[in-house]
Amino acid sequence: MKFRKKHKKESSEVFTDSLNDILFILLMFFLIVATLANPNVVKVGLPKGSKDTKAKQNIMVSIDKDQQFFIGTTKIESSKFDSMLALEIRKYKAFVDTPTVVINADTAAYYGEVYRIMRLAKKDTAKVVARIE
């Protein structure tokens, strides 16, 4: 009597459906953690503002590409500019404790002139904001 063994080929399957989900979640986790943990960041205490309002721009000073000076929209000669700016600051001090001087300078304007105007305004105890366009 001869017994035959029937060998049935069994196919085995590995279900990877959930493996894809787990790998995706791990990938997202490590991407998020990598962006949050930056060892090169220096912690600095930043000042907090008490108001959300923007400072009033009392005096607008502009310097164009031809080195011409303007207070507001009035063109001022460069020889008279220092005294006219001091006069404007004094005029606004009657209404505001510390007037603000906003300097709009063209990219072709000399930065030395911008710095000189900033010093003049600071000397007359005005706040200075410089915008370089």
> pTM above 0.85?
no
On the question of pLDDT at 110 being above 70, the answer is yes
Residue 24: pLDDT band by 50, 70, 90 thresholds?
very high
**For the purposes of burial, counting CB atoms within 10 Å of the CB of 35, is it exposed (0-12), middle (13-18) or buried (19 or more)?**
exposed
Structural domain includes residue 28: no
Tens-place pLDDT, residues 42-74 = 554 555 656 555 556 678 888 888 888 998 888
pLDDT recorded at residue 1? 60
* Domain at 81, CATH number: 3.30.420.270
Computed over every residue of the chain, the mean pLDDT equals: 79
Structural domain includes residue 76: yes
Which uninterrupted H or E stretch holds 20? helix 17-36
Structural domain includes residue 44: no
Q: Tell me how far apart the alpha carbons of residues 118 and 60 are, in angstroms, rounded to a whole number.
A: 12
Q: Tell me how far apart the alpha carbons of residues 77 and 68 are, in angstroms, rounded to a whole number.
A: 7
Number of compact structural domains in the chain: 1
Domain hosting residue 70, numbered range:
59-132
